[in-house]
Amino acid sequence: SNDELQQRIDKVRQQLGSRLLILGHHYQQDEVIALADLSGDSYQLSQMAAASADCRYIAFCGVHFMAETADILANRPEKLAERHGERVQVVLPDLAAGCSMADMAGIRQIESAWDQLAEVIDTEDITPVTYINSAASLKAFVGRHGGIVCTSSNAKAALEWAFARTSRVMFFPDQHLGRNTATGMGIPLEQMPVWDPYADELGGSTEEQIQTSRVILWKGHCSVHQMFRPEHVALARKNHPGIKILVHPECPREVFELADESGSTGKIIKTVEAAPPGTKWSIGTELHLVNRLKQQHPEQEIHFLSPVVCMCATMYRIDLAHLAWSLENLAVGTPVNIIEVDEETSKWSLVALERMLEVQ
Ligand code: 13P
Ligand code: SF4
C-alpha cells in the first residue's frame, strides 16, 4: 500500500539524512511530490541540483534528461573540488522514464544536419540552442559550437543571447517552443524553416529557405502539449465566459496565440497563485499539475483545457514503489539506476548549461 511504501521511503530518509535530496518535477504524481524535498520546473530543478550543498545522492523524480542535467551540474569541477572529489550519485527511480520529445533529436541527426547546413550557409554564423529536454550529447554539441541550453522559462533570453552572437539560430528539439518564442520576438514564420531529419536533403527545405532563415527549427514536439487544439480554446471561452486561457509554450502556435497567458510550469503555478479568488482558468499543460492546482486553489475555478486526457506517460512511471526500491538500494550500498554522464560529454554540456544559468 502507499502507506507502507511511504514508511519504507521515510526510513531511508532518516538513515541518509541530509546526504539524500529528493527532487520532483511539477508533472509528478501527488504522492511523489508530497515526498520530494524540493519541487520545481526544469530551470528551478537545474538550479537546485547545481546548488546541492552537502548531499551525496539525488533521487530525481522526473525524466532521464533531467537526471543527466542534475548529474552534470552537481558534479561540475568546482563542486567536486569542494567535496574532495566525492561524486553525487543521481538516481532515476525508473529508467524507462524518458521524454519522447528528447528522443526526436539524436546526436547523429544533429551532426548530419549541421554538416548539410555547412554546404549552403556559414555555420560559424549559426548559434545552436537546445531545449533542456534533450540528451546530454546534444547539450555537449551545443557547448562545443558556442551555443546555449534553454528551458521554457528563459527561451527568450537564450534566443536574445544567441542573436547577439550570430545572425542565425538553430533550435532543437521542440519546434513549438522555438517558434512561439521567435514569433514573440518579431521573427516572421517564413524565416523559420523546420528541419525534418527524415527528409532526403536539407531537412526538407530549399537552399533559398535555409539561406534566408533566421531560426532553423527542428521537427520535434511534446506528445502531451501537442494534443491541445485551438478548438479547445474556443470551447472553453464559449462554455465559461470570462475564462482565462493559460498554456505552456510547448503547445502548438495556433493554441499559444489564442492564450491569454503562457509560461513554464513554475510560471503557470505563480500566475494562478497571484490571481484573485474567483478567477476562471482553462489550463493547457500536463494533467497532474492542473489537477494539483485545482486542489490547492478551491477559491478559483480551474478547468483542464482539453476534453481528453493529456498526461505524460513517462513522468507517470515514477511511483512510490520505484522510489522506495531505488532508495533502499542506495541505503544498503547497492545503487541501481544511477545516471552518470561521461566526462567529455559533461564538460561540454556544462559550458552550455552554465550559459543557460547566466542568462535567466
Ligand atoms: P518546465 O517545467 O520547464 O515548464 O518543463 C515542462 C516539461 O515538459 C518538462 O518536461
Ligand atoms: Fe517530454 Fe512532454 Fe513529457 Fe515533458 S511532458 S517529459 S516534454 S513528453
168-172/126-131 β-pairing = parallel
Superfamily of domain 225-304: NadA-like (3.40.50.10800)
Which range is least confidently modeled, 45-54, 126-135, 241-250, 308-317?
45-54
Residue 219 scores a pLDDT above 80: yes
| Ligand 1 within 6 A of CB of 133 | yes
Residues of the chain above pLDDT 70, percent:
100
Residue 52 scores a pLDDT above 90: no
> In Å, how far are 8, 9, 175 from 160, measured between CA atoms?
47, 44, 17
> Binning pLDDT at 50, 70 and 90, where does residue 27 land?
very high
For the chain, the first-to-last Cα distance in angstroms comes to: 42
Ligand 2, residue 314: give the atom nearest the CA.
3
- For 61, the 3-state DSSP assignment is strand
CATH architecture of 2-98+316-341: 3-Layer(aba) Sandwich (3.40)
| Ligand 2 within 6 A of CB of 247 | no
Residue 344 scores a pLDDT above 80: yes
250 is in an annotated binding site: yes
Task: Specify the pLDDT at position 146.
Answer: 97
Residue whose Cα lies nearest atom 4 of ligand 1: it is: 264
Say how far apart CA 178 and CA 152 lie, in whole Å.
10
For residue 241, is the peptide bond before it cis, meaning its omega torsion is within 30 degrees of 0? no
- For 150, the 3-state DSSP assignment is strand
Domain residues of the chain, as ranges? 2-98+316-341, 102-218, 225-304
> Binning pLDDT at 50, 70 and 90, where does residue 1 land?
confident
Ligand 1, residue 151: give the atom nearest the CA.
3
> Which of the ligands is closest to the CA of residue 151?
1
Residue to probe by mutation, ligand 2, list 223, 265, 318, most atoms within 8 Å of CB = 223
| Ligand 2 within 6 A of CB of 312 | yes
What grid cell was written down for 307? 476534453
How many angstroms does the Cα of residue 256 sit away from the middle of ligand 2? 17
Say how far apart CA 105 and CA 111 lie, in whole Å.
10
pLDDT for 282-333, tens place per residue? 999 999 999 999 999 999 999 999 999 899 999 999 999 999 999 999 999 9
Task: Specify the pLDDT at position 54.
Answer: 78
Give the pTM: 0.96
Sequence length of the chain is: 360
Q: What is the ipTM of this complex?
A: 0.98
Say how far apart CA 310 and CA 288 lie, in whole Å.
9
Task: Specify the pLDDT at position 63.
Answer: 98
| Ligand 2 within 6 A of CB of 92 | no
Say how far apart CA 185 and CA 217 lie, in whole Å.
15
Can you state the angle between helices 155-165 and 343-359, rounded to 10 degrees? 100
Mean pLDDT of the chain: 96
99 is in an annotated binding site: yes
What topology does CATH give the domain 102-218?
A: Rossmann fold (3.40.50)
251 is in an annotated binding site: no
55 is in an annotated binding site: no
pLDDT for 254-266, tens place per residue? 999 999 999 999 9
How many angstroms does the Cα of residue 224 sit away from the middle of ligand 2? 7
> Binning pLDDT at 50, 70 and 90, where does residue 6 land?
very high
Asked whether the beta carbons of 358 and 153 are under 8 A apart, the reply is: no
What grid cell was written down for 11? 526510513
Task: Specify the pLDDT at position 237.
Answer: 98
**What number is the average pLDDT over the span 176-194?**
98
